[in-house]
Chains A and B, each alone.
Chain A
Amino acid sequence: MSEKRKSRIEADIESLERGVFTGEEGGSERTSPRKDFIASIAVAALGILAMTLAAQLDTLDSPYTAPGLLPFITGVSLVLMAIGLFEKTRRRYGLDAMLKSGGIQAITDYLAATENRRTLLLMVVIGLYVLILGQMDMDLRYKTSFYTFRFSGFEAISIPFILLILRYFWRSTLFNCFLVSTGIVVFLAVIFRDGFQILLPGSG
């Protein structure tokens, strides 16, 4: 079942017209009973995990100053909130709507939406970018009488990854994407490194 989603702007306009309070970040995403059901299970699991880990911490001199005291209370509160979320969703939509699971179909539906596929791809590309940049340790310098030109691991990794993202999402020519990615990465590197004396990742 694909969920009908409203954009942030649509939801905000609707709330203004109805005079309904949607909150500082409200209306940005419409959820479904199934999502709330999954969320309540996940939050309860997180609460139980927090309680377990907190209970394992040493109680040193007094139980009142035990390092695990507030984490334990937080875990208990999270479990209670998960129950609250479950109950609220059940009252609003009914248990059937919450438990109606699409199974594999739900995943297929999710992947069928172009926007979702693009998001997943973007996550993978950014993940690789972050991971590879973390392994880099390079800083080439070319000294001239007026300026020291530098090319570090940051530029070496950022340029191709930004190029890749631009090519896929912006869909301009390869040359344009290369020009933009090189220009912006070099510009940012110079501003941060030379202008504000901030070290860049991947530059040793």
Chain B
Amino acid sequence: MLEELLAQLTIAFQPWMIWVCLMGVTLGIIWGALPGLSTTMAMALLIGLSTGMTQHVSVMFMLGVYTGSVFGGAISAVLINIPGTPDAVPTMIEGNQLARRGEGGLALGTAIMGSFIGNWIGIIFLIAFIPAILFLALQFRSWEMFLLSMWGIAICGSMSAGDMPIKGWISGWIGLLISFVGLDAIHALPRFTFGARTLEDGISYIPLLIGLFGLTEILKVLPQKSPPGIPSEVGRIIPPMKKIIAHSKAAIRSGIIGTIIGAIPGAGANVASFLSYDIGRRRASEEERQKWGKGSYEAIVCAEVANNANIGGSMLPTLTLGIPGNAAAAAILAALEMKNIVVGPTIQTENPGIIYFIYIGLIIANFLMYGMAIALIKPCVKLFSLPRTLLMPLILPICIMGAFAVGLNYFDVYLMFIAGIVGYVLHRFGFPLAPMVLAVILGPLADENMRRAFLVFEDKEWWTILIDRPIGTVLVIIVIYTFYDGIFKRGKE
């Protein structure tokens, strides 16, 4: 173990690796800071750029982008009252109030410190819980893997659609249908291919991801007209130590919330920052609560720590079970799989050392994020003067190049375009997109494992499947509860 760790440390601390990570963090911060460009969009599009990189370089780059873009949203939220990413809305409410009082720099400094602490909490939880979850995951057989995949899709639907979980589930189930296209894993029989040879390889989820989160975003944002106002002064950035210590309790609580939320499939940085902000308000002292909504530093800490702790949390199910914690983690999963890294219970045996590399990568990215965030605040202010009508068309060629680069197959570009249109239509009808992507990833896993499990239990009574596998039984109850909660509880709110 120590040898592996040292080997990965040697790779991760090569100057080239640090440089790549810095590039990823920088791109991520700028991307996240630009209004309308979300973390998932950054991740989805920059996968294309990582296709030409080697395994470790690609992982380092994507981790840098992920870490940078989650924080980046706070810059525009505080300075121009437009959140770069949806999870920065609470930061916007509080930070912009402070910016109007001339404390924009300090609000941003608090956000940077909060993000730094949040990332650390997420990383610590990731390192602490991976061995336990990997041990548990190794007990999983086909039946459990099938149930886990279905639960992942169902909970993602529930978490992403708010008061209409049924729409999230529908989106996920449509994703399942998409995942069935191609030759089936057991008999190699073509399914839903309509005689087209191109479809026999199945539908790659990277063009789908780019279409749903890149092109759909362009179609949503470009036709709107909303020029942002530009701030003139930023002021002091680094917050005094006294202020940081004063909010340490809120930071730890928010970090735990963010990590747990991140580990639940479908619940990403948005849910984490909103929930942490809400709980923070309820838990704040009377004096602090008065400031809530009018410019509270503690509120910024709550939101920023939670959305950054979410990164470590989301990596937990992604690496151990192969189930992405959120749409951005799905992009990380795609990048890992593209580099032949098999995620899931056997990650340690099939890719020795890669988990250590990911830990180290996250730590390096966190330090670089802290430095770059401070350095990039002022250049980002200049970037805000660029209208979205100028920025969005420039993303279009990246979508096309990214979709093509994955398999060097132009069919993927058509697929990306169709996914973009479908994503836009689904968005207009109020359907979330993350469950669909998750289902396309998990569909083949669910299909193969369900049929294998049924084959094992073929000669037994049907109900024995429910009692012979205790972990499976627990998962059945969880799946049923997820649907019950969505239909009878959340649905009635």
Q: Do A and B come from one complex?
A: yes
Using a CB–CB distance below 8 Å, which chain A residues touch chain B? 8-9, 12-13, 15-16, 19-31, 35-36, 38-39, 43, 46, 50, 53-54, 57-58, 60, 62, 64-71, 74-75, 77-78, 81-82, 84-85, 88, 114-116, 118-119, 122-123, 126-127, 129-130, 133-134, 154, 158, 162, 165-166, 169-172, 180-181, 184-185, 188, 191-192, 195-201
Contact across chains for B49 and A19 when beta carbons are under 8 A apart: no
Q: Which residues of B contact A (CB under 8 A)?
A: 48-49, 51-53, 82-83, 86, 89-90, 92-93, 158-164, 166-170, 173-174, 176-177, 180, 184, 186-187, 189, 191-192, 215, 218-219, 222-224, 266-268, 270-271, 274-275, 277-278, 326, 387, 389-390, 392-394, 396-398, 400-401, 404-405, 408, 410, 413-414, 417, 420-421, 424, 427-434, 446-447, 450-452, 454-455, 458, 487, 490-491, 493
B162 touches A26 (CB 8 A): yes
A162 and B174 in contact (CB under 8 A), knowing A31-B429, A201-B404? no
Distance in Å from the Cβ of B317 to the closest Cβ of chain A?
Answer: 15
> Which residue of B389, B454, B458 contacts A171 across the interface (Cβ within 8 Å)?
B389
Contacts of A67 in B (CB 8 A): 184, 186-187, 189, 191
Chain B's closest residue to A176 (CB) is B390
What is the chain A residue whose CB lies nearest that of B446?
A: A70
User: With A22-B163, A27-B162 in contact, is A196–B51 under 8 Å at CB?
Assistant: yes
Q: Is the CB of A162 within 8 A of B394?
A: yes
Cβ contact of A180, chosen from B166, B187, B390, B401, cutoff 8 A: B390
Measured between beta carbons, the chain B residues less than 8 angstroms from A13 are: 89, 93
Provide the residues of chain B in CB contact with A30, threshold 8 Å: 430
Q: Which residues of A contact B52 (CB under 8 A)?
A: 192, 195-198
Chain A to chain B contacts (Cβ below 8 Å), 27 pairs: A9-B82, A12-B89, A21-B274, A23-B160, A23-B161, A24-B160, A24-B271, A24-B432, A26-B164, A29-B427, A29-B430, A39-B429, A60-B187, A62-B458, A77-B173, A84-B166, A84-B487, A118-B222, A126-B218, A134-B410, A134-B414, A158-B397, A169-B393, A170-B389, A180-B394, A195-B52, A199-B405
| Residue among A70, A166, A200 with the highest chain B CB neighbour number at 10 A | A70
Question: B175: nearest residue on chain A (CB-CB)?
Answer: A74
Known: A27-B162, A162-B396. A15 touches B224 (CB 8 A): no
* Contact residue among B49, B414, B432, B452 (Cβ-Cβ distance under 8 Å from A25): B432
Inter-chain contact B86/A70, CB cutoff 8 Å: no
Q: Is the pair B163, A188 in contact by a Cβ cutoff of 8 Å?
A: no
